[in-house]
Amino acid sequence: MWRYRHRHCQRRRRTAGHRGTARFFSSASLSMGGDTMQIITGNVVSPGYACGPVWIWQPVKNDISLSPVADPSQELNRLERACDTALAQLQALEDTVRAATGEDAAQLFFAHQLMLQDDDFQQEIREAIRQQHCNAAWAVERAGEQFAAQMAAMEDVYFQARAADVLDVAGRLVAILGGHSPTTIPVPAGKVILFADALSPSETVQLDRQRVAAVVTRQGSALSHSAILARAMGIVAIMGLHSPALSAEWQNLEALVDGETGQIYLSPDSETQKRYHPKLI
């Protein structure tokens, strides 16, 4: 992964983009005429204004268990085929994003190709399979977590943000090894405010602007590739939500997102709606 860091650092200035606006208010509730308006805040990573019902996405994570294999060479062959498939998927994504949003955003998926092919990352996986006779999916997930932790521990905030990309690449490989398609987000019909704990770049790029008015996540920053993609796609986004968890009570509430201040109004009162109406037209 250190080779990836050296090769990728030259792209930082072009893709860093909007630095975001931090708002360190705790969530607040205002009672207006019997209706309770809640105000929660986060950091602006893609500016603009949006409104719509809250739709909370909480993906089910499949636990990968350690399974011994009798023939590590066969597992290494499975890994090789999975890497080839992942590389082809990432190259196709790069081309698709380039056509839709331009070169800068497309480079994010070129960076994923570098991560996938990184010598240190590949060696960690292959040595685990050879030495521990373990299944490839477990080795990939373990290596992904290890290298993501190394990224997250770096002093440079740019490389801290790359931890999510490492997990995204590893997750893609694990899905292929398990015979699954990459994670898709089943956004309901209509135009919603998508709430999630986090969104990977592979998840962000599939969002449909006709169905997603804005994105709000607990994790992430303006330097994350998901934030860069949201800006390129023209989707309002707030990340680093100042809330310990996503409340189930928010589901289906009307929300108004201020992508300039980082405030999200849940069940906005009539005065707030009137104030923002000109900005939402």
Q: What is the mean pLDDT of the chain?
A: 89
Q: What is the pLDDT of residues 186-239, one digit of tens each?
A: 999 889 999 999 999 999 999 999 999 999 999 999 999 999 999 999 999 999
Q: How far apart are CA 272 and CA 210, in angstroms?
A: 24
Q: What distance lies between CA 94 and its chain's CA centroid? A: 16
Q: Are strands 212-217 and 192-196 parallel, antiparallel or unpaired?
A: parallel
Q: What is the pLDDT of residues 61-81, one digit of tens each?
A: 778 999 999 999 999 999 999
Span 34-63, mean pLDDT? Answer: 90
Helical spans, DSSP H, in 53-178: 72-101, 103-117, 119-132, 136-152, 157-161, 163-177
pLDDT at res. 182? 76
What is the value of pTM for the model shown?
Answer: 0.85
Spell out the domains of the chain, with CATH numbers in brackets: 9-60+185-280 (3.50.30.10)
Token reading at 170: 């590893």
Token reading at 254: 């009307």
Span 99-115, mean pLDDT? Answer: 95
Residue with tokens 């999200």: 264
